[in-house]
Amino acid sequence: MLYVIQPDDFQHWVGVAEVMRAEAREAAEARLDEMAHEINAYAGLTPEMVIREGKTREEIITLVREDNEIGVLVLGASVDGDGPGPLVTDMVTKMAGRLPLPLTVVPGNLTLEQIDAVC
């Protein structure tokens, strides 16, 4: 599981920026830990957790190129009516042909039972 912390443009106060970065990292760790517990309870698996700072698309691409144990990139599509979401749209339209692995987009409104049925 990858959590990408978006870079902050607040460069004027280095001390404040460091506090904000630490808080963002704590929030990322908490969210990934919460999701890892859910996955472990549901499937008995302990996922690897990675936290990066940067632009989401670039960090995803860097990670899948660095880690040859990643066999497929799975993204969840948005459930609102404005399309699958900016990341999914960007990855499918601009990057899918250049990724070193398959890209799977999962509809955001699937239940766990429906996801199990297609796995």
In tens, the pLDDT along 7-37 reads 876 566 677 778 888 999 999 999 999 999 9
Sequence-distant (6+) residues with CB within 8 A of 91 are 57, 60, 73, 75, 99, 103
**For position 18, what pLDDT does the model report?**
83
pLDDT range class, residue 96, cuts 50, 70, 90? confident
Percent of the chain at pLDDT above 90? 68
Q: Greater confidence, 7 or 102? A: 102
Rounded mean pLDDT of 61-83? 92
**Residue 98 pLDDT > 90, yes or no?**
no
First-to-final CA distance of the chain: 18
Give the SS3 label for residue 118.
Answer: helix
Give the SS3 label for residue 7.
Answer: coil
